A and B are shown apart, each in its own frame.
Chain A
Amino acid sequence: MTDPSLKPLLDVRGLTIRFGGLVAVNNVSLSIRSGELVGLIGPNGAGKTTCFNMLTGVYEPTEGEILLCDKSLVGVAPHDISSRGISRTFQNIRLFKSMTVLENLYVSMHHEREYSLLDTILRLPRFAVRERALHDKAMEILKVLGLDRHANTAAASLPYGEQRKVEIARALATTPKLLLLDEPAAGMNPAETAMLATYIQQIRKDFDLTILLIEHDMSLVMKICERLYVLDYGQLIAEGSPETVKCNPRVIEAYLGGSVGEAHV
C-alpha cells in the first residue's frame, strides 16, 4: 500500500512551541507516507492536540518545519490550510449546531462552489446546478459513514456517536489528502468504537486518504494503526509498530509511572 521509496506526504521536523516559559511541544519530528494510518498517542497533556493545532495553523510553532508534499505549512493562515489538503476533527465536537448535517458539509465545500455572488443574487441557472452538485457530493460522503438518513437533521439533535461521525464527514468534505482525527472514539462504547474502526478504514480506502489519529482508546489504536508515535510531556519518546511500542518500557512508564497528582501541560 505504501511505497517506502516515495517522499513522505507529511514531514514534520523539530517542531517546538513555547507558551511563555512553558515548552508544550519539544523537538517533535514525524514522517507519514501517503496512504498510511498512523496514531499519535500519549498521556493527557502530552501535547498531541497542540501538534494538531500547529499542523492546522491555529498555533504557529516557535521552531521547526512542517512540510506537506514538500511545501511548508508554517505561517499559512488556518483557513488556507484546508485548501492545502489537510482537514481535521476536534477533541470536543465543534459542529455547526443549528445547521443540518448536510449544511455542515456544505460549509466545507464552500471553496468549490463555483458560482459567484451575481449567480446567487440573480439565481442564475448555474446556482441551482452547482448547489445540486454540492448536495450530491455531500450525500456520497454521508452514505459511506451511514449518515445519509440524518442528512436533513439538525446537527445538535443527533446522538453523540453520530455527531462524532458528522465531524468526520464534514472534514472529508474538504477533499483532504491528510485527515487528522482528534480522539474520534472519545465517549463511545465498545460497540460504537468497533464500528468506528471499520468506518475509518473504509474512508481511507474510499477517499484515498492518509490518516493521523490521536486516540486514548487502545483497542482502536491497536486495531487500525499501522504505526505509532508516542508523546510525553511534549517530547517524542517512542515510535514504531503498535506491538513494539506496547512493550516499550518508556511508554509503559509514561502511562502508568507518574503520580496521581502530576501536573498537566
Chain B
Amino acid sequence: MSEFVQYLVNGFAQGSIYALIALGYTMVYGILKLINFAHGEFYMIGGFVGAFLLAKFGLPFWLVLILVMPIVGGLAVLVERIAYRPLRNAPRIAPLITAIGISIMLLEAMRLIAGAQPRAFPQPFEDVIYEVGEWIPSLDGVIVQRSQMMIFGIAIALMLVLNAIVMKTKIGRAMRALSMDFDASRLMGVAIDRVVAFTFLLGAGLAGAGGVLVGMYYNQIEPYMGQLAGLKAFTAAVLGGIGVIPGAVIGSFILSISEALVVGYSESSYRDAIAFAILIVVLMFRPWGILGKPERIKV
C-alpha cells in the first residue's frame, strides 16, 4: 500500500509538469488546429533561463518563476509571428514543417550556447523530506519531498489562474470562441492575431514555468529535455482530448501515474515506451481523446 501511494505521489509531481506543457499544446491546437512541434523547446528554454537567472543574479525562486514566464512567452509570440502566422491560410502541412524547423533551430541554438551535456540546476533552497509515516502509520515508508509539494501547488495555482483567464476575461472568451468556430469568430470581429499571440504567450509561459520546476526537482537540465517531455505532454494532451483544456490536465495525470506505477512495479526500462503505447492506442481507438468529440466533414 505504501508503495502504491509513493508512486501516486511521484506521479502527481511529474504529472503537474506534464500538465503545464500539455496545456500549451492543447490551447494552440484548439484554436489553430496546429501541432506546435516546437512547444517542447519552450519548456527546455524555460529551464535554462531559470537556471541562468538563479545563477547569475541570485534572485529568489519565486521571482525567477515569475520572470521566466513572460520571457519564454515572448519568445513564443515571436516564433508565432515569424513562422506560423504567415502560413495561416496555407495547407496544414506547411506550419507543421516550419514548426519542426523551429524546434530544430531552438534546440541547436541552446546546444551551441550551453553545450550538449546535462548541467546542474542551481539549488534555490534546501529540499525537505517529509515522512508520511510519522502522521499516518499505515503509510510508513512513503516520503513526500517539499519540492514535489511545491511543484504540485504551483502548477495548480497556475492552472487556476489560466482557468480564470480563459473563463472570465474578454480575451479568454475570444480564445474559446476561436476554438469553437474560427471563421465565425473572425467574422464577428475577434482580433485574431492578438488572441493567437496571447494564446502562445500563455501556453509557452506555462511550459517555461514547467521547465524551471523540473530543473528544481531533478537538479539538472539539458538541451534535449524538451524533445521527450514534449512528446509525452503531447500524448497527454491527445489522451485527454486535444483542444480541450481540462483534457490536457486529466491526460497528464493519467500518463504520469501510469508511468510511475509501471516503473515502480516492474522496474522496467520501458518507461518512455509507455507514452508511445498510450499514444498509439488512443489514436487507434479514440483519436479525439477522453473529453474530445469526433469531427464530422461536410460534403
Contacts and interface: CB of A to CB of B under 8 A. Distances in A.
Interface of A: 49, 53, 58, 90
A153 B299 CA distance: 26
Q: In the complex, which range does the number of interface residues on chain B fall in?
A: under 10
A58 B297 CA distance: 11
Contacts of A53: 299
B217 to A, nearest CB: 46
Contacts, number: 4
Contacts of B299: 49, 53, 58, 90
Interface of B: 299
4 contacts: A49-B299, A53-B299, A58-B299, A90-B299
A53 B299 CA distance: 8
B21 to A, nearest CB: 35
Nearest to A52: B299
| Majority SS at the chain B contact face | loop
Contacts of A58: 299
A49 B299 CA distance: 8
A160 B225 CA distance: 52
Nearest to B297: A58
A89 to B, nearest CB: 12
A257 to B, nearest CB: 27
Nearest to B296: A19
A75 to B, nearest CB: 18
Contacts of A90: 299
A14 B240 CA distance: 41
Closest 4 CB pairs of A and B: A58-B299, A53-B299, A49-B299, A90-B299
Contacts of A49: 299
A90 B299 CA distance: 8
A93 to B, nearest CB: 13
A58 B299 CA distance: 8
A186 B280 CA distance: 44
A90 B297 CA distance: 14
B24 to A, nearest CB: 32
B41 to A, nearest CB: 34
Nearest to A58: B299
B90 to A, nearest CB: 15
Nearest to A78: B299
Nearest to A19: B296
A44 B299 CA distance: 15
B184 to A, nearest CB: 14
A61 to B, nearest CB: 15
Nearest to A59: B299
A118 B299 CA distance: 36
A17 to B, nearest CB: 13
B32 to A, nearest CB: 23
Nearest to A90: B299
